[in-house]
Copies of this chain bind each other. A is one copy, B any other.
Amino acid sequence: MDPHLLSTFVTVVAEGSFSAAADRLGYTQPAVSQQIAALEADLGVPLLTRRPVRPTRAGERLLEHAGPLLLRLRAARADVARLSAQPRALTVAAGPLALTADTAAALAGVTTLRIAGAATAVALVASGEADLALADGPAAPSDPLNLPDTGPLTTVGVREEELVVVLPEGHPLAGRPGLRLDDLADALWVDAPEVMPLDRLRAVARLDGLRPGIRYEGHDPAVAARLAAAGHGLTLLPASAAPCGVRVPLVAPRIVHRVELVHAALPPGPAAEVVRALTS
């Protein structure tokens, strides 16, 4: 199973077409046909239906592996390259809720800041496209975030902050001193996958429900808060990131908003300085 073939397979599925994938990869169409045929011959099962081009069940299984595999390959290459690389631009990938005032203050010397979800941020560090990641997400107090395993990276907790439920004014629960998530599982929630993904919340809180309401595809927590304040659904945010609406602390289950710093082994330099500043 050549990674080259795997990458072609991923592209074909993404494009939904052999010819389009060939264009994108700089091959001719027969080359892509033959690569897919080689993969299917190797594994002994069809991976794609043709016309329309869609993954079979076996193809879906393979897809689940292909992404992490190709990422890990890039990570290996990046890890080796880091040893002999000259210090260059300093890129930080941060979660949308990771940048409080004092965290931002610690980012001296950073050239580029990129906002990305926890998994993407870690992937950027692993593949060498970013030097540091500030991954954020919900977690039980003092529990680590459940970050994908992409190789030998160092992870340190940076901060944990109380979470609040953001409600519109006049909501029946707005007067409560604290709220339990179980009581809100049937309510409508703002579905903001780039700010506070509902599926991660479900996993951490160990509950089903949290019906998705309006979907917000950006990564500005203030917008999510405003949507919640306007009654489009509830949302859960760290206290400092909810500028409006009625904010009621979450009391059960005990979940906090956690920020972790992820980086590879770093030579002394500006990146290491930022790590020191963030962890002190």
Partner-B contacts on A (CB < 8 A): 1-3, 43-45, 57-58, 61-62, 64-66, 68-69, 72-73, 75-77, 79-81, 83-84, 143, 148-149, 151-152
Q: Is the interface of A mostly helix, strand, loop or mixed?
A: helix
A49 to B148, CA, bound (A): 33
Nearest opposing residue in chain B for A47, CB measure: B80
Complex alpha-carbon distance, A61 and B64, angstroms: 25
B65 A151 Cβ-Cβ under 8 A? yes
How many copies of the shown chain assemble into the complex? Answer: 2
Which single residue of chain B is at the shortest CB-CB distance from A151?
Answer: B65
Residues of B within 8 A of A148 (CB): 149
CB closest chain-B residue, reference A146: B144
Whether A72 contacts B61 in the complex (CB less than 8 A), given A43-B77, A44-B84, A143-B143, comes out as no
Instruction: Contact check, A72 vs B65: say whether CB atoms are below 8 A apart.
Output: yes
A76 touches B62 (CB 8 A): yes
**Given A61-B83, A84-B45, residue A68 in contact with residue B1 (CB < 8 A):** no
A76 & B66 in contact (Cβ 8 Å cutoff) = yes
Q: Which residues of B contact A75 (CB under 8 A)?
A: 65
> Given A2-B2, A73-B69, are A58 and B80 neighbors across the interface (CB < 8 Å)?
yes
Q: Which residues from B are CB-within-8-Å of A76?
A: 1, 61-62, 65-66, 69
- Tell me the bound Cα distance from A80 to B58 in angstroms: 5
Residues of B within 8 A of A151 (CB): 64-65, 68
Chain B contacts for A77, CB-based, 8 A: 1, 43
Can you name 11 A-B pairs with beta carbons within 8 Å?
A: A1-B3, A1-B73, A44-B84, A45-B83, A58-B80, A58-B83, A61-B76, A62-B79, A65-B151, A68-B151, A72-B72
